[in-house]
Structure 1
């Protein structure tokens, strides 16, 4: 088996801290990763030397991400037809509902948001591209989990206790399995305050040419705008949007 290089792993751990914070100090990096001061200093110096991190002007011990990471991300996104096509379809869906529309993919037990088109309302969802959340707490995540085979789902749920984001989050694995059965049957999932008590979301799956669910699309809105009528309209809207995006990914459309 090839050996994992500890220094590379630690450097990547440092970079991943910036997924959640735009700026960090050397001390915060040391405390969050529980690494020796000398090790952190050497890794930060190396990352700055290669411009993957930059020193915040006027704050010599504060760091933020550098341009090469944007370039790598752009190169990755540029190779994803999903991202390009999703940007177009999410704009179309958002233009109809004027609410936040997301496209996300599954990464282990989490979802990662690839595309977002925001609402123009003053009260709206706080989220962004690159955000990572526990899949079982989100509508997009529940759609994606429901598409997994039994063995793959067992593997995800075996990774540990399901964390809760709100009191309404499903944290019991058996209850989640039952819930995912209903999602699989319905073809859509709803987040009723499970990731944010003030928000509601509805999501549907996106398929590729083989029929596999590769992503999910959601419409999200504050509870103050989540009326029964809107829920029904947005459910159909996200179904249609996900179907259009699936068609662009090569999934053959069946007559209804």
Structure 2
């Protein structure tokens, strides 16, 4: 009995190590399929540096649980619907405000201006969190404020991401009222600007919502790649010039991707 116990003790760590290695390899396979869309056993084995039989065994297990499925046309594998079942349980447990908070604070500290997190609600951009820069001029509390989509950087980012039909429905309902003399109130002009926003990945407004206020915003994505909000930096027009502040726009884009990653987005 003692000999058996000793034998089990010696084999236990090896078995455990093999199990951990199998899990790690299975996760590698999923990452490869998520990155490439589909791949064959030989391709996966070559990238991982393991024998094809090892990959076949692991894929077989993943297929049996519908985590991976085989593309019948090409004989290659891709992620299966089982992944969606697993992923669908995550977003409800993630709080955008909670996940974004450290990033907002970091941006406010780095650029010394006000940073806002906004989402689309009831045809308006609603600011749900804010981090204040150290400047004494950055005193406006925008949390809870409903701001017009057509006149704010956050709103334009979210408008640009909407299907044409949904965007038309919202704009027909809200109109394009002028908040300042610089507010865009012509639909065609706005649509052209939204094309630029989609292409460039950010929106800037110069005193369109409030005289003396400049703001720049980027989108935040969820695990489906859908825009679920925006993060913006705003400041007094006399000193805040995003386009001529080295690294600011790219830094804001990077921050948006960090928040998106926390919400399950995989940037390709």
Give TM-score, length-normalised by structure 1. Answer: 0.65
Q: 1:139-154 maps to which residues of 2 (within 5 A)? A: 139-154=153-168
For 2:230, what is the secondary structure of its paired residue? strand
| Equivalent residue number for residue 261 of structure 2 | 247
Decide whether aligned partners of structure 1 residues 232 and 107 sit closer, same or farther in structure 2, where only a CA change above 3 A counts.
farther
CA displacement, residues 168-199 of structure 1 (integer Å, 9 cap, x when unaligned)? 11111221111111111111000111111211
| Equivalent residue number for residue 214 of structure 1 | 228
Larger Rg: 2
CA displacement, residues 197-238 of structure 1 (integer Å, 9 cap, x when unaligned)? 211111100000000000000011111222466544321121
The structure richer in helix per residue is 2
Tell me the distance in 1 between the aligned counterparts of 2:195 and 2:122.
19
Tell me the distance in 2 between the aligned counterparts of 1:83 and 1:187.
21
| Equivalent residue number for residue 201 of structure 2 | 187
Q: 1:162-173 maps to which residues of 2 (within 5 A)? A: 162-173=176-187
Q: Which 5+ residue runs of structure 2 have no aligned equivalent? A: 1-91
Contact 1:199 1:223 in 2 (8 A): yes
| Equivalent residue number for residue 89 of structure 2 | none
Tell me the distance in 1 between the aligned counterparts of 2:153 and 2:170.
17
Tell me the distance in 2 between the aligned counterparts of 1:94 and 1:160.
31
Contact 1:202 1:234 in 2 (8 A): no
| Equivalent residue number for residue 198 of structure 1 | 212
Tell me the distance in 1 between the aligned counterparts of 2:122 and 2:193.
19
Query: Among 76, 100, 108, which residue is 1:86 paired with?
Result: 100
Contact 1:125 1:221 in 2 (8 A): no
CA displacement, residues 140-195 of structure 1 (integer Å, 9 cap, x when unaligned)? 10000000011111111121431111111111122111111111111100011111
For 2:238, what is the secondary structure of its paired residue? helix
For 1:158, what is the secondary structure of its paired residue? helix
Alpha-carbon RMSD:
1.8
Tell me the distance in 1 between the aligned counterparts of 2:231 and 2:214.
14
Query: Among 137, 142, 153, which residue is 2:151 paired with?
Result: 137
Tell me the distance in 2 between the aligned counterparts of 1:229 and 1:146.
20
Q: 1:1-256 maps to which residues of 2 (within 5 A)? A: 81-124=95-138, 126-227=140-241, 230-254=244-268
Tell me the distance in 2 between the aligned counterparts of 1:187 and 1:228.
14
Contact 1:204 1:238 in 2 (8 A): yes
Shift of 1:109: 2.7
| Equivalent residue number for residue 8 of structure 1 | none
Q: Which 5+ residue runs of structure 1 have no aligned equivalent? A: 1-77
Give TM-score, length-normalised by structure 2. Answer: 0.62
Contact 2:214 2:241 in 1 (8 A): no
